[in-house]
């Protein structure tokens, strides 16, 4: 098991990519703190893990990642329960969009920046300080998006926040390398999470067509990559943006070509 002996904190751990990653990490031997704004759901995940035959492998904590003191407390929860922290997966996020000129900044800008951008900054800062104090190094993995590298419809704020995650990752890798800390960002494409699955079948079909396999990525497929990045097998991956988008970013649309 590639994560045997490691302790991880996963934000947004009660649903979607975060939930899949919690289960993957436990199967790979890690002890995990399930951090989510919904305490009840986080505790349910812990109960599921225990019921699957992994008693003591997980603990829950309620966290609003837009509040630094709560992110600090989540890091401390990992240390209090499991004795240390080796990995943080800054995954919690919100989505939504509106045409720029229709924005109400208090609704369409500030909340998303606080969660998707500030929440990652807080996770990097709190975990980085803990890793330095331990003197054992650590791994910081943060969820950006394909939108962090390109313009997209109705995504002015979301794209900006996800671009910031990429910049944070590169700067953190540079600044924290002396402490044995790695930082990596992932850029998912169209993933079948509750956020996307709430949409109409027609829209989900359109989303699927934007990827090379012609289907939505499953959360567990992202979790598989995150587990690898958290492992010692990925020690040379640092300051890197890892595309987990099934080719979304390499083409615009398929064309019906004429006969030559």
Which positions are catalytic?
158
Round to whole Å and give the CA distance between 240 and 149.
13
The strands making up 240-244's β-sheet, listed across from edge to edge, are 58-62, 31-36, 7-11, 87-90, 138-143, 181-188, 240-244
Q: Is residue 2 within 8 Å of residue 233, measured between CB atoms?
A: yes
Q: Who's near 135: CB < 8 A, 6+ residues apart?
A: 179
Torsion of CA 113, 35, 73, 161, to 10 degrees: -10
Residue 218 has which token pair? 């499953």
Provide, for the chain, the percentages of residues in helix, strand and coil under a 3-state DSSP scheme, each rounded to the nearest 5.
50, 15, 35
Round to whole Å and give the CA distance between 194 and 139.
27
Torsion of CA 223, 45, 193, 90, to 10 degrees: -60
């Amino acid at each position: 098991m590639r994560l045997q002996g490691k302790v991880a904190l996963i934000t947004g751990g009660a649903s979607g990519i975060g939930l899949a990653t919690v289960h993957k990490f436990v199967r790979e031997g890690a002890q995990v703190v399930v951090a989510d704004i919904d305490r009840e759901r986080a505790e349910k995940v812990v109960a599921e893990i225990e019921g699957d035959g992994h008693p003591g492998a997980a603990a829950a904590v309620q966290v609003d990642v837009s509040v630094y003191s709560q992110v600090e407390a989540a890091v401390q929860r990992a240390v209090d329960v499991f004795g240390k922290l080796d990995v943080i997966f800054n995954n919690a996020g919100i989505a939504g969009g509106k045409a720029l000129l229709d924005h109400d900044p208090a609704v369409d800008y500030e909340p998303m920046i606080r969660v998707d951008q500030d929440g990652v900054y807080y996770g990097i800062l709190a975990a980085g300080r803990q890793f330095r104090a331990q003197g054992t190094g650590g791994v910081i993995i943060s969820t950006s998006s394909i939108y962090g590298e390109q313009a997209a419809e109705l995504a002015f704020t979301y794209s900006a926040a996800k671009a910031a995650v990429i910049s944070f990752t590169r700067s953190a890798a540079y600044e924290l390398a002396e402490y044995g800390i790695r930082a990596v960002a992932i850029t998912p494409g169209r993933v079948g999470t509750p956020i996307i699955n709430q949409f109409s079948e027609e829209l989900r079909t359109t989303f699927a067509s934007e990827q090379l396999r012609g289907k939505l990525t499953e959360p567990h497929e992202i979790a598989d990559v995150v587990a690898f990045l958290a492992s010692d097998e990925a020690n040379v991956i640092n300051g890197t943006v890892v595309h987990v988008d099934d080719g979304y970013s390499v083409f615009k649309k398929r064309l019906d070509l004429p006969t030559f």
